[in-house]
Amino acid sequence: MNPAEIANYINAQRERFSQLEKRLSDPAIFTKQNEYREVSREHQKLSSLLKLYDRWNSAISEIKENEEIVKVEPDEEMRQMILSEIDKLKAETSEIENKVKIALIPPNPNDNRDIIVEIRPAAGGDEAALFVGELYRAYSKFAESKGWKCETLDFNAGTLGGIKEVVFSISGNDVYSYMKYEFGVHRVQRIPTTEAGGRIHTSTITIAVLPEAEEVEMEIKPDDLRFDYFRSSGPGGQNVNRTDSAVRVTHIPTGISVASQQEKSQHKNKAIAIRILRARLLESKQQEEATKQADSKRKQIGTGDRSERIRTYNFPQNRITDHRFGVSVFNIPGVMNGEFEPMFQAIMMADSERIINDLLVK
């Protein structure tokens, strides 16, 4: 990826930006809300990209000009001031370059969606269930730091303080653009507190990140649904195990089934189950569309399959490694306290490099 190739790509994006501005200036677009929303999002993203790129070029030009001036400047004090300014500009260009690379990533249609996250133990028994709880709390803290809203939809407690299953939603700006990288199998390696011999135990959990679907875009026919009602098995007050408040909804055409028992109210559990079902149906639909284009997308890192191991948390070495992008960070205590931002930025940078290289060779 050299500056000339990036410049050519940016020029093409300027033409695209002009086309989008023309479409937004047409009053007819306001009668097409879906089209208006998509065009506005792309226009905003390209606007940010072009501003960043122009500032990047401007800073590079300023560096060159100052370097020429410092060669002929006789006053030593003035020379030092110019050299100091060059150092500041170089630091700025490095920071902007990283932002430009991330901004070059084509928008994902799900990036502005809210999400539903499902975390479950896979292998490792109680130790896996404990890690589900720890990672759930870490995501909740990260969401809070980003100003996102986190809402628990379903929760099934395990033993020793672990969690057998947790389903929660996160809403806010750019939620999916971050959390899409969490889809898959996460492996944890550490010495359990119950391990007297000090041996390292390996366990795994699975994470699904489902973009939420709007009712208008994922319409579900009532006749396609089957509801079953049963008694909740977890904590929830006096009504648990006394009334059939838990709900299981099955989408008959696809066989996709969702159960919810978080709330005491059957009505609320039914609404939660349908909400999760709608997200799973959208995921299924998008995966079908992606499969049709699979031949042209083989270069993508990872398959997005839940069976794919994407990350390892090695506690003895204080190392988290993302296997898809070759990214490692050494701050497990911080990450488990919700400090995901440095890791996500490193992953986004690696992902942007791959995507940009793909774009430039087309």
CATH code at 165? Answer: 3.30.70.1660
Q: How many CA atoms lie within 13 A of 115 on its CB side?
A: 26
Distances in Å between the alpha carbon of 188 and those of 75, 179, 253, 305, 313? 60, 19, 37, 19, 5
Q: Considering only CA atoms, which of 244, 180, 251, 200 is closest in space to residue 222?
A: 251
Distances in Å between the alpha carbon of 153 and those of 96, 161, 264? 39, 19, 12
- Say if CB 335 and CB 314 are below 8 A apart: no
Bridging pattern class, strands 246-251 and 225-230: antiparallel
129 lies in the same domain as 68: no
How many structural domains compose the chain? 2
Is the pLDDT assigned to residue 121 strictly greater than 80?
A: yes
50 lies in the same domain as 123: no
Distant-in-sequence, close-in-space partners of 230: CB < 8 Å, separation ≥ 6? 244, 246, 248
82 lies in the same domain as 187: no
59 lies in the same domain as 159: no
pLDDT score recorded for residue 267: 87
Of 68, 103, 138, which marks where a domain is finished? 103
162 lies in the same domain as 210: yes
Helix (H, G, I), strand (E, B) or coil at 251: strand
Q: What is the pLDDT of residues 319-359, one digit of tens each?
A: 999 999 999 999 999 999 999 999 999 998 888 888 777 76
The H-or-E segment that residue 39 falls in is helix 33-72
279 lies in the same domain as 335: yes
Could you tell me the two tokens for 9? 């790509």
Residue 328, Ramachandran bin (φ over 0: left; ψ between -120 and 50: alpha; else beta): beta
Q: What is the pLDDT of residues 57-100, one digit of tens each?
A: 999 999 999 999 999 999 999 999 999 999 999 999 988 888 88
pLDDT score recorded for residue 21: 94
Q: How far apart are CA 331 and CA 338, in angstroms?
A: 11
170 lies in the same domain as 212: yes
Is the pLDDT assigned to residue 194 strictly greater than 80?
A: no
pLDDT score recorded for residue 107: 67
Query: Is the torsion defined by CA of 38, 5, 88, 102 positive or negative?
Result: positive
Q: What is the pLDDT of residues 149-161, one digit of tens each?
A: 999 998 888 877 7
**Mean pLDDT, the chain, integer:** 85
Of 103, 122, 155, which marks where a domain is finished? 103
Alpha-helix residue ranges (DSSP H) falling in 110-265: 126-145, 175-179
Which amino acid makes up residue 253? P
pLDDT score recorded for residue 342: 94
Q: How far apart are CA 285 and CA 54, in angstroms?
A: 39
Which amino acid makes up residue 129? A
pLDDT score recorded for residue 67: 94
Looking up tokens 């009504």 gives 239
99 lies in the same domain as 123: no
Percent of the chain with pLDDT over 70: 88
Q: Name the residue range of residue 19's domain.
A: 3-103
Q: How far apart are CA 129 and CA 166, in angstroms?
A: 10
192 lies in the same domain as 169: yes
The H-or-E segment that residue 87 falls in is helix 76-103
Greater confidence, 259 or 135?
A: 135
pLDDT score recorded for residue 150: 95
307 lies in the same domain as 246: yes
Q: Phi/psi at 301 (nearest 5 deg)?
A: -80, 120
98 lies in the same domain as 71: yes
Could you tell me the two tokens for 51? 């501003």
pLDDT score recorded for residue 362: 56
Of 75, 103, 131, which marks where a domain is finished? 103
- Cα 218 from chain centroid (whole Å): 22
Q: What is the pLDDT of residues 12-38, one digit of tens each?
A: 899 999 999 999 999 999 888 878 878
Q: Considering only CA atoms, which of 194, 264, 274, 256 is closest in space to residue 232?
A: 264
Task: Give the CATH number for residue 56.
Answer: 1.20.58
Q: What is the pLDDT of residues 282-314, one digit of tens each?
A: 888 887 766 665 543 343 334 444 456 899 999
99 lies in the same domain as 248: no
